[in-house]
Structure 1
Amino acid sequence: MSLSEYTLARKKGKADEETLAVLNNSIFSELPKVYIGVLEIPLDLVVGTITSSRAASFTESWMPTLDEDTEFATKWSRLYDAQIEEGIREPIQVYEYMHAFFVKEGNKRVSVLKYLQAPSIMAEITRIMPVHNDSQEIQVYEEFLRFQKVTNLYTPYFTIPGSYQLLADMLGQNLETKWPQDLIRTFQG
């Protein structure tokens, strides 16, 4: 078991003074939710967790904070070994709100993969729908939702309204019809 890797991950996180972000309870409890399904998501968009008790176990960069002699450290180390030997297969469970992911189940898996600098993770996604308004942020997000629906991609992410439509136009596509798989693969790298 790779407890030494846990120790290194913990040391790596010592520079972080902040713990993980926690999804605001009023957002979580009051806004409508839409089940999306299982998709590959960029790990850099996984920014927090849904419970404050779990947030204290990780730094802002997802490095573990608990001592090496804890059950948490043992489980983290086993997940590390599993990832090295065969890969972590079970998707995490997340809530997506405004293009950011908050973990419901699988915090340690995220931590291990972030420590290993993996680019992405499989996730079972439930989207929390924001309240519609005329702000630029909501306009861009609603356009992103149209893009995501036809591509199943979370990248690229733009900040200027009209950018997704412009991208679709440049590629001879639209935001109403599923895009060809070969085109989608070019975005996945």
Structure 2
Amino acid sequence: MSVNRVMSVNQAQNEVERARLLADVHDFLSVLRGMSNELTPFDWVRHLSPDGEHQLGVQAIPVNHIIGSVDRYREFDRYYLPKERHLDERWVGIRTAQMEGKELPPIQVYKVGELYFVKDGNHRVSVARRQGQAFIDASVIELNVSVPPEAGDTLRDMIIKGEYAHFLRDTHLDVVAPHHRPIFFTAPGRYAKLIEHIQARRYYLDLKPGRERPVTWEEAVESWYRRLYSRIVENIESHGVMRRFPGRTEADLYLWVMDHRYFLSQKYGYDVGSELATVDFSKRYAPKLHKRVGQRVKLAWRGKRAQPKF
């Protein structure tokens, strides 16, 4: 073995040991913050209900958009630092080849939204990211999803986004209201309630006098979104309700306000309307100030998003 190669191998060994030490530091900090320090398992993507895939060929992809792995997600941390000593030999070999100027083959990835999951080439990604490499060549397979993931999504986030994708397919909301606001919950199982609201809206519209034909599903969806959902969201905004419920979303509050509207209407014997229901719900059920402050501090510490973006 030449002197230059020995020096390259020694340097690579020192680098991988420092990388594993830094991964240990990340693990420690993640425990303090209550956050996962692992890569996202590709298996979670199935909850997004992908409806097909297609080849994009070989292209340069951003290294910092690689967030997960098909089968090695426990062996590297979320920054793609190696966590196990048995990874050293492969890592050192790739880093040594890189320092010697050898051309490495493209990695293989799945693209989901703007993020990537490694099918083959995890060690090459780890070395590239450790060296501050901005792009890496990859053979890309893109999965078709209606609601894409974001970096930092938990399994629960993926499940909720999959439910949202089903909701969009069932309602055709993207067609009847193409510029609609994203409707996102903080807990699974709530989109079925929205379907019930749309069905009730359709029934109500069918009862209106003078109708010459039944209301179509698309008409009911459009009317529900415009006359019920959007109005409550507008009331939430105009009365500053969101800031009183940190960590919640517009959709969460919509369901609560609708339930409260029904309760008030039953109590008083007439429909109190969405605005009164919104204001009254906020006054009655908003957490106390000290709890809100504590919740905001917790969310900031954990880096959570109060209102996801799509």
TM-score in same-fold range (> 0.5): yes
| Residues 50, 144 of structure 2: 8 Å contact kept | no
Aligned-residue sequence identity (percent) comes to 26
Aligned counterpart in structure 1 of residue 89 of structure 2, from 74, 81, 84: 74
Q: After TM superposition, give the deviation of residue 15 of structure 1 in Å.
A: 2.4
For residues 101 and 25 of structure 2, what CA distance do their matches in structure 1 show? 31
Q: What corresponds to 2:60 in structure 1? A: 40
Q: What corresponds to 2:14 in structure 1? A: 4
Secondary structure of 1:56 counterpart: coil
Aligned counterpart in structure 1 of residue 38 of structure 2, from 15, 19, 30: 19
Are positions 1:62 and 2:80 aligned together?
A: yes
Q: More helix per residue: 1 or 2?
A: 2
Q: More strand per residue: 1 or 2?
A: 1
| Residues 28, 128 of structure 1: 8 Å contact kept | no
RMSD over aligned CA atoms reads 2.1
Structure of larger gyration radius = 2
For residues 126 and 78 of structure 1, do their structure 2 counterparts lie closer, same or farther at Cα, with a shift above 3 Å needed?
same
Q: What corresponds to 1:157 in structure 2? A: none
Q: After TM superposition, give the deviation of residue 28 of structure 1 in Å.
A: 8.2
Q: What corresponds to 2:205 in structure 1? A: none
1:131-170 alignment runs, 5 A limit: 131=146, 133=168, 134=174
Q: What corresponds to 1:49 in structure 2? A: 69
For residues 3 and 12 of structure 1, what CA distance do their matches in structure 2 show? 14
For residues 136 and 116 of structure 1, what CA distance do their matches in structure 2 show? 40
For residues 120 and 87 of structure 1, what CA distance do their matches in structure 2 show? 17
1:41 counterpart letter in structure 2 = I
- Counting matched residue pairs gives 132
1:95-136 per-position Cα deviation (integer Å, ceiling 9, x unaligned)? 000110000000000000001110110000000001374366
User: Normalising to structure 1: TM-score of the pair?
Assistant: 0.64
Q: What corresponds to 2:263 in structure 1? A: none
Report which structure shows greater RCO (CA 8 Å, sep ≥6). Answer: 1
Q: After TM superposition, give the deviation of residue 83 of structure 1 in Å.
A: 1.1
For residues 117 and 124 of structure 2, what CA distance do their matches in structure 1 show? 13
For residues 42 and 114 of structure 1, what CA distance do their matches in structure 2 show? 10
